[in-house]
Amino acid sequence: MQQADLISRIVSDVIKELNVSQTQLETVSQPHPAEYGIFPNMETAIAQAAHAQKQVARLSMATREKIIANIRKKTIENAGILSDMAVAETGMGNADHKRAKHKLLATKTPGTEDINTLAFSGDSGLTLVERGPFGVIGAITPCTNPSETVLCNTIGMLAAGNTVVFNPHPAAVRSSNYAVHLINQASFEAGGPDNIAVSTSHPTQETGNILFKHTDIQLLVVTGGPGVVTAALKSGKRAIGAGAGNPPVLVDDTADIKQAAVDIVAGATFDNNLPCIAEKGIIATTKIADELIHYLKQNGCYLAKPHEVEKLCMTVLEHNGNQVRLNRNCVGKSATELLKMINITTNTSDEIKCIIFEGDEDHILIREELMMPILGIVRATDVAEGIRIAVKLEQGHRHSVHMHSKNVDNLTRLGQEADTAIFVKNAPSYAALGFGGEGFCSFTIASRTGEGLTSARTFTKSRRCVMGDSLCIR
């Protein structure tokens, strides 16, 4: 008997003996979708990441790059699975746009090349300022860009020599943990250590709090809403806080109005308005407001009537006395889904991408960060008033503002007064992520703590290395 036949007979006998049906066997032998680097409790996850960091710290830069190259490759290969998984799990966003986000991060997130050494040489010798790892980073990730944030964070953190413990958003645990699984698979295949990124199977606020307090965590990197960023900043640890935004877009008299409409719709509808950088409200100077609305409608916007706006308010927000909060069932939904929720059925051939309405600067749907393709339009008498309203709507997050204008003085003034981490001019908001704009990609924009778009160098600490009197050979 051939060896293969023999093995097959033995296997079949064992199966019979164990009384395991073929279906059961297939179920058992399927790899769990997220197994590498996922631990049932947070303490074990941290211990494993701490162990792995000792190995990562000794890896050559070339090996770190080899692992990163494989993470990039796996991100591209799995972009479809990760995107479909996130939409199915969270009920939010657009799978095709999520695919594009994964491809973007795979190709434009900086790796080891981002880490530079500074040198001073002179009569007294040579001093180097090198960038070293923090060690083990604790990272909180959002449900809006779940696997994108996990993958993008890991590339930068690993490039800098760190390992990372994730506490993913509970609503996006499967997709986030599948990304962690792929990262460890990529490391294993590239000859790297296990557990370069880890996570827990049941993340909660409590497991997040363990990260905030654990002595083995040297840095916190928090991507999410205001509550979690504030909690991290109170932890007593060094924290990088990438918090909420509510980016307004200002269109003035000098803008290319037709192009502004195209760009605004593209930016505000990308992944159903989930990105923190996406246009969340429009301010238009009175002179061009009607023209802008005309082109917005031409580009797939539905202009809601006042009674429809009322219905939207009651649907997308939950009201409890004086308090309002987002109806999570509406976040990240498409414009047609939102219209259906208020009983408006549109002709499918119209292809509605975004809902627009006119309101004042205090309108609740303009003030709140909705993360839905709903854009309120506020009229401003002139550009000075437009800038004032834009700054007010940004609400001091110091995150993002956008503007369409050909007047450099107007652009400069908004930039100075808003003082945000991101200011996109004459392009869709996603140009800020390096999507159709120059520059690298990041899904963690440290608006609260001022690092701006984070990359590998953000996850390093500075070390000064001094040689007295020698090695200056000028």
Binding-site residue total for ligand NAD (CB under 6 A)?
26
Beta strands in 381-438 (DSSP E): 400-404, 422-425
Residue 228 contacts ligand NAD per CB under 6 A: yes
Is 233 or 255 the residue whose CB approaches ligand NAD more closely?
233
Minimum Å gap between C-beta 448 and ligand NAD is 8
Closest CA to 401 of 278, 259, 296, 292: 278
Minimum Å gap between C-beta 209 and ligand NAD is 6
Which amino acid, residue 425? K
Residue 241 to residues 108, 139, 155, 377, Cα–Cα distance (Å): 22, 10, 18, 30
Return the ∠ at Cα 347 (arms to 345 and 352), rounded to 5°. 85
Is 64 or 398 the residue whose CB approaches ligand NAD more closely?
398
**Binders in 349-388 for ligand NAD, by CB under 6 A:** 369
Contact between residue 403 and residue 427 where contact means Cβ atoms under 8 Å apart: no
Angle between helices 408-418 and 383-394 (to 10 degrees): 30
Is 42 or 244 the residue whose CB approaches ligand NAD more closely?
244
CA 329 – CA 161 distance, rounded (Å): 39
Closest CA to 278 of 419, 432, 142, 426: 432
CA pseudo-torsion sign 451, 402, 408, 420: negative
Q: Which stretch binds ligand NAD (CB under 6 A): 46-54, 165-173, 381-389, 463-471?
A: 165-173
Closest CA to 194 of 381, 332, 301, 67: 67
Q: Which stretch binds ligand NAD (CB under 6 A): 72-80, 224-232, 247-255, 334-342?
A: 224-232
Residue 243 contacts ligand NAD per CB under 6 A: yes
**Per-residue contact string for residues 124-163; x = within reach of ligand NAD by CB under 6 A:** ----------------x-xxxx------------------
Is 143 or 389 the residue whose CB approaches ligand NAD more closely?
143
Q: Which stretch binds ligand NAD (CB under 6 A): 123-131, 225-233, 260-268, 408-416?
A: 225-233
**Binders in 422-451 for ligand NAD, by CB under 6 A:** 444-445, 447
Using DSSP, state whether 271 is helix, strand or coil: helix
What residues make contact with ligand NAD under the rule CB under 6 A? 140, 142-145, 167, 169-170, 205, 208-209, 223-225, 227-228, 231, 242-245, 276, 369, 444-445, 447
